[in-house]
């Protein structure tokens, strides 16, 4: 995929993916163009605006839709209002306070790994459970329910590629689960994000019912697969580049910059979510029409030679690493401080527990999951040595 992007950046940076029917889809591959797209108010998130003014309200009046009202899918002023409600929970300062607890969770998982007989899979045994436990605690979702989320969240993420038969069923189960959790927290509020959102929804009427569900679903899903990929992809890149691994083992203060390089080199989110051109326009030599779908290739932008010197090299000491792995503009990842902290703690603790950890080279080379929007490994078998 990376050579394909390189070719597009050189020859067709605003690339028409399809032009069947009345509207086209485009992929944007150059770093500067990606940033321009993501910050431009002419590319909007709410597709319904293109057709009718009131359809969002009409949709809300319908049955409960747990996807249609996420901050990620709406424009200002709704976006501003929704984001403001949860922003305080995700500020770097607030997030930093979670460090001791994240460390504890990492250490518990590593302890379990020590006692595991047979092969250890860094994804299943470590990268996956860590972020899901952290986000569950932050939201106030009972940790023992987290396996249910794995299935629901997988089905929902996979639905961006192909609808599985389970989709409708899983969505209903997820909705029902949240309804009963909300009931519990309403009756007995706790010090968690869900209790606080419920209060806001009730007292200040700043949040509709559908928005409340969507918010919780978004936070669970967004904080889930992505951070798993960050930990897995960065470790994989380190295994592939033993000289870089040696550098961070020698100087652990390089771990945060190794995380940034992991984010750039194997970006966990390959593409931005969809944006629609609000009206006809020219974008770097191409005529884009109102209603066209435009996707920013984050992976491509992060390998743009015009922006990053020796872009194809994985370099844990890279300075001024202004990657766009967390997006750009008003939808810039809300969870970036949390993801960065989880990544740092995960790798620090892993390397201090198992300084000689390496890929299990007797197994096949790990493979990327065949998901279009996200880049992550399905397995990462390791030898703890």
- By CB under 6 A, tell whether 277 contacts ligand HEM: no
Of the candidate spans 59-67, 92-100, 285-293, 325-333, the one that interacts with ligand HEM by CB under 6 A turns out to be 325-333
Peptide bond into 77 cis (omega under 30): yes
Residue 149's SS3 state is: helix
- Please tell me the number of Cα atoms within 13 Å of 261 on its side-chain side: 24
Using CB under 6 A, pick the residue from 105, 106, 181, 219 that binds ligand HEM.
Answer: 219
Of the candidate spans 109-117, 153-161, 168-176, 264-272, the one that interacts with ligand HEM by CB under 6 A turns out to be 264-272
- By CB under 6 A, tell whether 197 contacts ligand HEM: no
- What's the closest the beta carbon of residue 135 comes to ligand HEM, in angstroms? 5
- By CB under 6 A, tell whether 140 contacts ligand HEM: no
Question: What residues are paired with 43 via a beta bridge?
Answer: 277
Of the candidate spans 50-58, 184-192, 226-234, 286-294, the one that interacts with ligand HEM by CB under 6 A turns out to be 226-234
Using CB under 6 A, pick the residue from 24, 29, 155, 227 that binds ligand HEM.
Answer: 227
Long-range contacts of 116-122 (CB under 8 A, 24+ apart): 119/360, 119/363, 119/381, 120/360, 120/381, 120/382, 120/383, 120/384, 121/379, 121/380, 121/381, 121/382, 122/231, 122/232, 122/235, 122/380, 122/381, 122/382
Q: Is 300 left (phi over 0), alpha (psi -120 to 50) or beta?
A: alpha
- What's the closest the beta carbon of residue 366 comes to ligand HEM, in angstroms? 18
Using CB under 6 A, pick the residue from 95, 222, 237, 341 that binds ligand HEM.
Answer: 222
How far is it, in rounded angstroms, from Cα 257 to Cα 274? 29
How far is it, in rounded angstroms, from Cα 88 to Cα 24? 39
Using CB under 6 A, pick the residue from 338, 350, 359, 377 that binds ligand HEM.
Answer: 338
Using CB under 6 A, pick the residue from 307, 318, 331, 375 that binds ligand HEM.
Answer: 331
Binding stretches for ligand HEM (CB under 6 A)? 38, 71-72, 83, 135, 218-219, 222-223, 226-227, 230, 268-269, 272-273, 298, 325-327, 331, 333-335, 338-339
């Amino acid at each position: 995929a990376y050579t394909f992007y390189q070719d597009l950046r050189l020859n067709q940076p605003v690339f028409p993916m399809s032009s069947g029917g009345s509207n086209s889809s485009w992929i944007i591959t150059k770093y500067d163009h990606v940033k321009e797209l993501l910050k431009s108010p002419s590319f909007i998130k709410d597709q319904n605006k293109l057709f009718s003014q009131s359809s969002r309200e009409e949709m809300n009046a319908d049955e409960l839709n747990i996807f249609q009202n996420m901050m990620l899918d709406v424009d200002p002023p709704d976006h501003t209002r929704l984001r403001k409600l949860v922003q305080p929970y995700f500020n770097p300062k607030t997030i930093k306070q979670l460090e001791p607890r994240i460390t504890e969770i990492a250490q518990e998982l590593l302890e379990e790994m020590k006692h595991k007989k047979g092969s250890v899979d860094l994804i299943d045994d470590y990268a996956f459970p860590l972020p899901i436990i952290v986000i569950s605690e932050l939201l106030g979702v009972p940790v023992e329910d987290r396996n249910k989320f794995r299935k629901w969240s997988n089905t929902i993420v996979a639905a961006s590629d192909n609808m599985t038969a389970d989709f409708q069923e899983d969505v209903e189960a997820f909705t029902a689960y949240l309804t009963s959790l909300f009931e519990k927290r309403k009756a007995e509020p706790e010090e968690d994000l869900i209790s606080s959102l419920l209060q806001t929804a009730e007292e200040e009427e700043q949040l509709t019912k559908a928005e409340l569900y969507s918010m919780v679903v978004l936070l669970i899903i967004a904080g889930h697969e992505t951070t798993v990929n960050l930990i897995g992809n960065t470790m994989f890149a380190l295994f592939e580049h033993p000289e870089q691994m040696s550098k961070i083992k020698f100087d652990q203060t390089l771990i945060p910059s190794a995380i940034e390089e992991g984010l750039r080199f194997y970006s966990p989110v390959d593409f931005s979510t969809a944006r629609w051109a609000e009206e006809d326009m020219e974008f770097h030599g191409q005529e884009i029409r109102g209603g066209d779908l435009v996707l920013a290739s984050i992976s491509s932008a992060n390998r743009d030679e015009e922006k990053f010197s020796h872009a194809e090299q994985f370099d844990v000491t890279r300075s001024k690493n202004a990657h766009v792995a967390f997006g750009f503009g008003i939808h810039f990842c809300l969870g970036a401080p949390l993801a960065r902290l989880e990544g740092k703690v995960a790798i620090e603790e892993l390397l201090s527990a198992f300084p000689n950890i390496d890929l299990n080279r007797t197994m096949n080379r790990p493979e990327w999951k065949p998901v279009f929007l996200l880049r992550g490994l399905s397995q990462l078998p390791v030898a703890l040595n």
